[in-house]
Structure 1
Amino acid sequence: MRGAGWADPSRSVRATITQASLDRAFTILMAIAAIGFGAVNVSGLLKQLPYLDPVWAPASAIVMALSLVAVGVSAIAQRWSQVAQTVCALLFLVALLTFPLTVDRALPVDQVPWPWWLCNVGTIAASLSFATWRAAVYNALVPIIYFVLRLSPAGGAVGLQRAFLDGAYTAVLGIAALVLIVVLRRAAAAVDAAQATAVRRYSRAIREHATEVERVQVDAIVHDSVLTTLLSAARADTPDAETLAARMARNAIDHLAAAASDGPGEDQIVPFDVLRDRIVASVTSLGAPVQVRSVPAAGPGLPFSSADAIASAALQAAVNSVQHAGDDVSRWITIVADRKSVEVEVADDGTGFDAHAVPAERLGVRRSIIERMAAAGGEADLRTAPGSGTRIVLRWPALGAAGDGEAADGDPGLGRDGAADRDGAADRDEREARG
């Protein structure tokens, strides 16, 4: 039997912002900042070298430069980004702490220790790679260490006010970056969790819907192809009834064979003329006369499941009419189509019935017509009342899917929410039917 063939939504649904994409963006920005700040401040470091130890100062600067290069390269090999950022943050802290040991003579007042230019590179690297509380401690230590350094002769002995301002500037930028990174990461994690929850619920809903569609298809086939045939054969007491039962038995065998061999997958498109000919041939071969009032020459192609549903529902509507509408009854079928929709009306002027009085356990129109059409993306309108005949209108696609729910092709009596039948029959929204 043709299944729903649903795809796993977790493979196709993608959030705009995820924690992985955010971390990727942070890694790229960190790489740009590391390489950029390092390159821009090379000239300042070279000017400061005469005041520094000729061995340890260049060695310290080279090691720090290599860590910045590693951070830059990690934008390409992102699996190493956290390691590179962690090493960079730790090496910067070591360079800042050991800077006084690399100074031969006091720096001029107009110069700042070269680690100053990389303070925020270190604090942001720590914010990205450390746990939140460790990053907070790091962002508090760096301004304090730099404040003490600026007060010392090795840092220029600039005085309390200048040292405090430099330390406060470093602290504000570092803490602001830390807060921004933490907030964005938590927001992205919430998006990831919400997406995962939505995908799980959507997957469950799809499975439940597919199960319901399959159940409707099975119920419809059992009713159409088995129960109806058996009941017709049991009641066949005239040659015409026996002929009808034999034809229904052949149709049942063909239908069951086709359902058994049909597998899940994408629907093939059925040309309109194939669908039209199938409907006309099946309805007019029942033995009882059925007048074909209108058959268009052209119409839209339909997915196989939709074409099969509308053809099977039309046949079942005609079978119900033959079985229950009474003798000497006029029956007719009308097919209307345009470029995007198909509408099939199967009607008679027989006895009609009270749909509200039909027991719930009777499958009939409910499974074989109404729910079958709904499962295939269409809809079925039942118009009947005792003594007023029966009219069943099959429409694909459903009006809610084709537009805003208004009637198509100038027929206001066929709207989804229409209250009036074209002939003044009862409410179109009857959802129970005879078996």
Structure 2
Amino acid sequence: MNRTDDSDLARLERIGSRFVGLGTLAFALVMLPVATSTSGLTEPWWTPTSVVLVVGPAAALVAVTFRSEPGRLVPLVYAGALGYLIATLLWFVAWRGVPDDTARYTVWLVQFPSLASIALVLVSRTRWAVVNLVVATLLAHAANQVGLYGEVHSVPLLSAPLTMALSGVFIAVAYATTRTVRSLDDRRAATLRAAASSAADMAQESERARFAGMIHDNVIATLLAVEEGRPDPRLVRAAASALDELDRGEDPDASAVAVAVVAERIRAAAAAVGGRVRVDLWVPDREIFYPAEAVAAIIGSTAEALRNWSRHAGAGAGCVVTGEFTDDTVRVTIADDGAGFDPDSVGDERYGIAVGIHGRMDVLAGGSAEVHSQPGRGTRVTVGWRRP
């Protein structure tokens, strides 16, 4: 399979070379009457040979520009330039030695010596383009002078530098355009590389944060709940659940979660901490699906709030978990009548609130989290999500 190149520079090379090829064919068509009328000045073989040498590469160049395969333009551009030079040199060989000063042109190639140089610039062969411009222009004008006068006249030959100067303007424009497009391609490539590197770093950081949250929510929380004496059966189940969670990781195929599953996970999170937790969820009787990312953040934040209640609310404190689900929103509130605390006194380094609740919901598109508490008046945590 051939490799394709869809860069802006490659498109410029193809389109520019196409116009050069079409321009060569157009000039050949326009100069066809000159070629036929002056064919008597040369041997019969030169006119058809020159047409093949000039028109053949031009036609092939036009055809290739409709295919986005790199590496094919350059040989044909070189072939076009060499074909023109060879055809012009062969004119001197084929000339019969009889001038015709009544004709305006005696060599049909004299009108377009610079076209191949423009194509060479477009394919980034600038030095060869300049060399070709000088050599091709001088040869074509010299051949035309010989055909007119039998020799080269210095004054009429001054038209050659004028042709070079006028053609140089187009070559300079092509050169500047090529450099600009190449620079834009390089900048875009650098930007894409930087974006890919940044995305990779963000993905790694996200994965580290996910595992940190998983370890905190499951492993550390279970270990902190261990006490002396006979193991609590709930801790055994929690430990087994933690191991399963670590083994399973995050299911990459889970893109949507049904509302009934969300409600069940909230009840499971409440059951995992035990104690005086009442769950009151309003679940619609129709199917509603939420993004897995949103569900994971809500369940994780809810579980974190419940663990905080279990550890810090105090003996005898009760907790109520309420939830509301609509087509585009989820809202879960965890309220307790425990000891409460001053939210302003909790530092950002504390994982539970800063990362376990706010951190999860703040990075979620459409997510929100509120923590209200006062010493002696309990705590209310509300996490929500609205479909963007």
- Structural mapping, 1:92-111, within 5 Å: 92-104=84-96, 105-107=98-100, 108-111=102-105
> Which whole-Å CA distance do the structure 1 matches of 2:187 and 2:325 have between them?
44
By how many angstroms is 1:73 displaced?
4.2
By how many angstroms is 1:94 displaced?
3.3
Alpha-carbon contact 1:34-1:68 (below 8 Å) kept? yes
> Which whole-Å CA distance do the structure 2 matches of 1:162 and 1:384 have between them?
98
SS in 1 for 2:265: helix
Q: Does 1:337 align with 2:325?
A: yes
By how many angstroms is 1:311 displaced?
1.4
SS in 1 for 2:274: coil
Alpha-carbon contact 1:299-1:337 (below 8 Å) kept? no
- Structural mapping, 1:248-259, within 5 Å: 248-259=235-246
- Structural mapping, 1:185-204, within 5 Å: 185-204=178-197
**Structure 2: which amino acid aligns with 1:81?**
L
Q: Does 1:175 align with 2:168?
A: yes
Q: Does 1:317 align with 2:317?
A: no
Percent of aligned pairs sharing the same letter = 22
Deviations 1:11-55, CA, capped at 9 Å, x for gaps: xxxx98532232232333333333443344434322221233223
> Which whole-Å CA distance do the structure 2 matches of 1:263 and 1:317 have between them?
21
Distance 1:199 1:367, change over 3 A: same
Which residue of 390, 403, 409 corresponds with 2:379?
Answer: 390
Which residue of 23, 32, 38 corresponds with 1:42?
Answer: 32
- Tell me whether 203-212 or 336-345 shows the greater mean CA deviation: 336-345
**Structure 1: which amino acid aligns with 2:12?**
L
By how many angstroms is 1:266 displaced?
4.2
> Which whole-Å CA distance do the structure 2 matches of 1:206 and 1:221 have between them?
22
By how many angstroms is 1:214 displaced?
1.9
User: 2:267: which partner in 1?
Assistant: 280
If asked which structure has higher relative contact order (CA below 8 Å, sep 6+), I would say 1
How much is the aligned-residue C-alpha RMSD, in angstroms?
3.5
Distance 1:335 1:301, change over 3 A: same
SS in 2 for 1:45: helix
User: 1:131: which partner in 2?
Assistant: 125
Which residue of 20, 28, 32 corresponds with 1:30?
Answer: 20
SS in 2 for 1:233: coil
User: 1:407: which partner in 2?
Assistant: none
- Structural mapping, 1:197-236, within 5 Å: 197-234=190-227
By how many angstroms is 1:270 displaced?
0.8
Which residue of 289, 292, 299 corresponds with 1:304?
Answer: 292
Distance 1:256 1:181, change over 3 A: farther
Query: Structure 2 regions of 5+ residues with no counterpart?
Result: none
Query: Structure 1 regions of 5+ residues with no counterpart?
Result: 1-14, 403-435
Distance 1:190 1:391, change over 3 A: farther
Alpha-carbon contact 1:317-1:369 (below 8 Å) kept? yes
By how many angstroms is 1:137 displaced?
3.0
> Which whole-Å CA distance do the structure 1 matches of 2:6 and 2:27 have between them?
31
Which residue of 44, 55, 79 corresponds with 1:54?
Answer: 44
User: 1:418: which partner in 2?
Assistant: none
**Structure 2: which amino acid aligns with 1:347?**
A
SS in 2 for 1:119: coil
**Structure 2: which amino acid aligns with 1:223?**
H
Alpha-carbon contact 1:112-1:156 (below 8 Å) kept? no
SS in 1 for 2:381: strand
- Tell me whether 381-390 or 267-276 shows the greater mean CA deviation: 381-390
**Number of residue pairs aligned between Structure 1 and Structure 2:** 378
- Structure 2 length-normalised TM: 0.81
Which residue of 151, 154, 159 corresponds with 2:148?
Answer: 154
**Structure 2: which amino acid aligns with 1:116?**
V
